[in-house]
Chain A
Amino acid sequence: MRKSKHIQVENLSKIYRVADKKPGLKGTFSHFFNRSTNNVEAVKGVNFSIEAGEIVGFLGANGAGKTTILKMLCGLIHPTNGYINVAGFSPQRRQNAFLKEITLVMGQKQQLIWDLPPMDSFQVNAAVYGILEMESKNIIFELAEMLDIGNELYRPVRKLSLGQRMKAELLASLIHSPSVLFLDEPTLGLDVNAQSRVRGFLTEYNKRTNATILLTSHYMADITTLCPRILCVHEGQIIYDGDLDSLSSRLNPNKKIIFEVRSDVSKESFSKYGKIQEINKGFISLLVSRNKVNFIVNQLLSDFEIVDLEIKDPPIDELIGDIFSNGKVL
């Protein structure tokens, strides 16, 4: 187990200068000769801290500022204002000791050498990180086993499937056993099976090494399976920091009870239990306040002859969608 390290961010902000161009030839000329720039505040006074070993998901619409925050944490982008401490270092100084502690995986960019087998890229990375040949081989084979790749290590990268390539990218970024992993959409474009294998690997890696993982993803399944804690970013600000369950209970105070009764019962007889969403022959769906769910289910079971019963949360995707369109958590 590693010693407790964490990420501390205080009052972080980033202002970009962006050049705007009007459409058409006229716009092009005026853009060429007289470039007008605007200041865009991509991140506005963000605060949070993360304990060692935590897996935290960044949620946000496109352009919300997730990637900018992630890149400031890696030290790739200099913040305009604020304080960052990652694993005891100030990221923007990019000291070697800091760089050996972190890694960045980007789903849409690759570092593997396109024309050579992944093994060659791994060796280059191992040399750059100053890892001895024997040690690097052990690490590579251990990670390869966890990721379930074998022969693919010796096949040119261009001949690998997207899923195999992503696994190899992960391996290339973990060769130096970093303690903080920044993952920017690591499952982008992967099929459902490949996504779940990558998720399984990340969970296992976190368990084995106690590495801190920060993740952005557009796939809700990534967030729900991997991240006990989420940070919602909206227009450069953090509008929610906490666990997924309490977010969904705050967003939606109701649960859905779906059940099937043996005999046909009239609609009116259910209205006293909750809000009726749908009645279709014997199938009934009711919306019930969260804190009354147990009581209502007991009553239903005693009052009717129930064949099947299920309690559901409203789909999380819809709830998150609501946050981004409203810009706040209720």
Chain B
Amino acid sequence: MKRYLLSLRLFWTTALSAQLEYRFNFLIELIAMLGTLLGSVFILSLFFSHGNKIGDWTWEAALVVQGVYTLLDGITNTFLKPNLSEIVNYVREGTLDFVLLKPIDSQFWLSTRTISPSGLPEICLGFSLIIWSSNRVSNGIHFDHIAIFIISLFCAIIILYSFWFLIASTTIWFVKTWNATEVLRAVLASGRYPVAAYPPSLRLFFTLVLPVAFLTTVPAQMILGNINLLKLFTSLLFSIIFFNLSRYFWKFALRFYTSASS
């Protein structure tokens, strides 16, 4: 465990130093970050200008969903995207060989090797939005709501990560899976709005097939005090199932790894 923590510290510090090596590029990245932030605020302002209800969600409550989505998007951009979109290059160029020969879990290496600060402003914005809007809906936030919210948010991150990693694992056979990852991101963008905003058939699809509902809607419901233990339990169960599935599937995929030719 200590070895993994120490490795993680070095993974992230080297990733940041490698990015700081190109000062101009880092500056551009900072400007791009501000751009993304302004974009998110603009989308929010569209919400404000309408002010109508989505299903049985008031726009303030819907704003909590938007906050959770922004937070998840920030986490995706900081932790998931820089790592999981690289897996295809590891396979294509054959540098996965080096990873597989290290006495460390290869899934851990591929999922945490690098980090990008580009999602940090979104994470801050997401958090502020969740706190501000949920405060307006329920007049003060309860500690137990926050605790349950954190659990369901953690489950959401695990589900999102596991789903993405599952798709990335298929790289072993198909080598290029960029398209599949883009489709996944587009579907996850539907988590911007409460599941109630969609027609019943899509609602079912987003709950049972692609668990988008558990990514944004469920955590939002938890912090708003609509605590439904069945949903929380399902969320936990989904995260455990998907995470284990991703681990099992990765190990299975590796049996078919043929390594790039030299």
Contact = CB atoms under 8 A, between A and B. Distances in A.
Nearest to A95: B103
B111 to A, nearest CB: 14
Nearest to B96: A76
Given A96-B103, A102-B101, A115 B258 contact: no
A115 B103 contact: no
B158 to A, nearest CB: 24
B135 interface: no
Contacts of B95: 109-111
B259 A113 contact: no
B48 interface: no
A124 B257 contact: no
Interface stretch (A125-133, A199-207, A253-261, A282-290): A125-133
B144 interface: no
A115 B22 contact: yes
A100 B103 contact: yes
Interface in A140-175: 156
A109 B102 contact: no
A102 B259 CA distance: 18
Interface of B: 3, 6-7, 9-11, 14, 17-18, 21-22, 93-95, 97-98, 100-104, 109, 255, 257-259, 261-262
Given A67-B261, A115-B18, A156-B21, A99 B97 contact: no
Interface of A: 16, 67, 71, 74-78, 94, 96-97, 99-100, 102-104, 106, 108-111, 113-116, 120-121, 123-125, 127-130, 156, 184-185
A321 B101 CA distance: 33
Contacts of A128: 3, 7, 102-104, 109
A78 B259 CA distance: 11
B103 A103 contact: no
A111 B98 contact: yes
Given A111-B95, A128-B104, A128-B109, 4 more contacts: A114-B18, A116-B18, A127-B3, A130-B3
B6 A184 contact: no
A109 B102 CA distance: 16
Contacts of A71: 97, 259
B3 A94 contact: no
Given A78-B255, A109-B95, A116-B21, A124 B262 contact: no
B14 A113 contact: yes
A67 B259 CA distance: 10
Contact of B11 (A74, A99, A116, A124): A124
Contacts of B100: 75-76, 94
A103 B261 CA distance: 18
B97 A109 contact: yes
Given A76-B100, A100-B103, A109 B94 contact: yes
A127 B6 contact: yes
A156 B21 CA distance: 9
Most A CB atoms within 10 A — which of B93, B101, B258, B261? B101
Contact of A109 (B6, B11, B93, B104): B93
A114 B104 CA distance: 21
Contacts of B94: 106, 109
A77 B257 contact: yes
Contact of B103 (A67, A99, A108): A99
Nearest to A133: B6
Nearest to B22: A115
Nearest to A178: B101
Nearest to A112: B98
A96 B104 CA distance: 7
A94 B100 CA distance: 8
B101 A124 contact: no
A236 to B, nearest CB: 15
A125 B101 CA distance: 11
A134 B156 CA distance: 41
- Please list the 9 inter-chain residue pairs (A to B) with the smallest Cβ-Cβ separation, ordered nearest first: A96-B103, A99-B103, A111-B98, A115-B18, A130-B3, A115-B21, A127-B7, A127-B6, A124-B10
